Amino acid sequence: MVTSAPPASSAPNPATQTSNERLIVALDFPEASAALACADKLAGSVSWFKVGLELYLAAGDSIISELKRRGHRVFLDLKLHDIPNTAASAVRSLARLEPDLLTVHAAGGRAMLTAAAEAARSLPHPPRLLAVTVLTSMDTAALAETGVSASPVEQVLRLARLAAECGLDGMVCSPAEAAALHSALPKALLVTPGIRPAGADAGDQKRIATPQFALAAGASKLVIGRPITAAADPKAAAQAILSDMAKSNPTK
Ligand code: C5P
C-alpha cells in the first residue's frame, strides 16, 4: 500500500501543474468501466493516462474516445512490431483515435521505424512516437537466447540511437537507463515506468526508483500505475506524488 498524506489544499499551484504534464497514470484494468471510474476519481489532478494492450483489446476504441472526451491526453501503449508497410498502416489506422503518445518496438529495425515515424508525422494530429528498446523483463541471458550478445544497457543504447536516427521522438526506458539515454540523446523524450514513491509496494517490479530519482536522471514523463490506482484514495496518492515531483524538480 502507498502511505501518503492528503495534500493541504486541492487547489492546483503552478509547480504542480508542471508536474501534472509529467505524470502518466497507467490504467491497467480488464474493462472500461473500472478504468473510467479510476480516471474520473483522478480528474483535476491527472491529465495523462496510459492505455495498454489489456485494456485496449478488452474495451476497444471507446476507451480512448471516452478519455479524450473528458479532455485527457492518451498514451496508447500498443508496442507495434511488424514489417514496415504494416507498421506504417497501423499507425495511420490509429489516427482516428488521436493518441498523444504511441509505442513501436525498436527491434523492428531501421526501415520499420522510419516508415512508422513518417506515417505518424503525416497525420493531422501526429502522435509522438516512442521506441520500446529492450523489455525490462529481459536480462543478459534472455537476450543471448535471442542471438544478442550485448548487455541489456548496450542493446538499449544501440536501439535508442537507431530510433532517434529514424525520427522517433523518444523511448520508454527504466529509470536505471534514463541517465545514460539522456546523456546520449539529450533531446529524446524519455518515458519511465518502474516508479515507486518511497515506502510503496514494489509489486512485481524489480528495478524501481522514486519519482525524484527518475526526474533527476533525465526522465521526461513518469508512468505510474498501482501506487495510484490501487491506493485507498487514488487522488490523494496522485497529489502526494505530484507535490513531490514539483518539489524535486520544479523547473523541468
Ligand atoms: O503498476 P505499475 O506502476 O507497475 O505500472 C507500470 C506500467 O508500465 C504498466 O502498465 C506496465 O505494463 C508498464 N511498463 C513497465 N515496464 C516497461 C514497460 C511498460 O512496467 N518496461
Domains of the chain: 23-247 (3.20.20.70)
* Catalytically annotated residue among 79, 187, 221, 235: 79
Mode of pairing for the β-strands spanning 73-80 and 48-52: parallel
What's the chain's Rg over C-alpha atoms? 18
Q: How far is the CA of 226 from the centre of ligand 1 (A)?
A: 9
Query: What φ, ψ does residue 170 adopt, rounded to 5°?
Result: 180, -165
Let me know if 252 is a catalytic residue: no
Give the angle 237-58-131 at the CA atoms, nearest 5°: 70
**What pTM value is reported for the model?**
0.91
Give the Å distances, CA to CA, from 237 to 27, 40, 45, 72, 250: 15, 14, 10, 19, 19
**SS3 assignment, position 151:** coil
**Residue-averaged pLDDT of the chain:** 90
Taking only the tens place, the pLDDT of each residue in 54-92 is 999 999 999 999 999 999 999 999 999 999 999 999 999
Q: How far is the CA of 26 from the centre of ligand 1 (A)?
A: 7
Atom of ligand 1 nearest to the CA of 203: 4
User: Which position has the grid cell 546523456?
Assistant: 183
